[in-house]
A and B are shown apart, each in its own frame.
Chain A
């Protein structure tokens, strides 16, 4: 595997379910990100991790819970979601947070539908 991979690619869940999204990067990067992409809206940054430590939480509701066990893996745990949470969830990584190392590499995303 190369680059940034995300699983599953598609997920349908009910509002009472608990599920997790997984992201893995094979680039040796130190920073990882979760974004939400909704139709006709700008990409919304959700969380940033650098060396496994969370450096940014962009006022995300607590029904989204990130986990970064190491610099290569990032999870997004989902529980009691709302229909408006249906979107494409993108994971990205970068070498670091400094501007010179900030180029972000994106995974293909998980298309989430909440019913």
Chain B
């Protein structure tokens, strides 16, 4: 079985500041990791994914994430956020089987 922990339920940040959204996972098998974003009244959209290879993964909208196997983490970062990045962000892990397990989400609020 696998699980995902997103410790921060809300992250406020000023526009143009950097941001990091934390994600830790646990799994007894090799994992595949995903970050999704959900804007108000919309479904989830894939930001980026780690399947294999380079541990630094670049996604859409200037986001990137780094897979750290020793720390079982997959933190999401953006060097300079914009108002339009205000949304809820979900980390997800797929281990064995076909099931994607999601975290509880982090609400990113970008302020002027």
A42, B103: Cβ atoms closer than 8 Å:
yes
Q: Please, how many residues of chain B have a CB less than 8 angstroms from a CB on the other chain?
A: 23
Interface of chain B, helix or strand or loop or mixed? strand
B99, A102: Cβ atoms closer than 8 Å:
no
- Segment among A68-76, A79-87, A106-114 that sits at the interface with chain B: A106-114
Tell me if B90 is interfacial: C-beta within 8 Å of chain A: yes
CB B53 to nearest CB in A, in angstroms, measures: 12
- Segment among B14-22, B39-47, B63-71, B74-82 that sits at the interface with chain A: B39-47
A108, B102: Cβ atoms closer than 8 Å:
no
Closest A residue to B92 by CB, please name it.
Answer: A43
The tally of CB-CB contacts under 8 A between chains A and B is: 51
The contact string, 1 if C-beta is below 8 Å from chain A, for chain B 68-108, is 00000000000000000000001010100011111111000
Tell me if A30 is interfacial: C-beta within 8 Å of chain B: no
CB A106 to nearest CB in B, in angstroms, measures: 3
Compute how far the CA of A100 lies from the CA of B46 in the bound complex, rounded to whole angstroms: 14
B100, A4: Cβ atoms closer than 8 Å:
no
Closest A residue to B103 by CB, please name it.
Answer: A42
Compute how far the CA of A58 lies from the CA of B99 in the bound complex, rounded to whole angstroms: 9
Closest A residue to B4 by CB, please name it.
Answer: A42
Query: Across the interface, which residues of A come within 8 angstroms of B44, CB to CB?
Result: 43, 90, 92, 104, 106
Q: What are 21 contact pairs spanning A and B, CB under 8 A?
A: A4-B43, A41-B104, A42-B102, A42-B104, A42-B105, A43-B44, A43-B92, A45-B99, A48-B98, A90-B44, A97-B98, A99-B94, A102-B32, A104-B44, A104-B46, A105-B46, A106-B36, A106-B45, A108-B43, A109-B42, A109-B43
B-side residues, CB < 8 A to A, are 4, 9, 32, 36, 41-46, 49, 51, 90, 92, 94, 98-105
10 further A-B contacts with Cβ under 8 Å, apart from A42-B4, A103-B46, are A4-B43, A40-B9, A50-B98, A56-B99, A92-B44, A102-B32, A102-B100, A104-B46, A108-B42, A109-B42
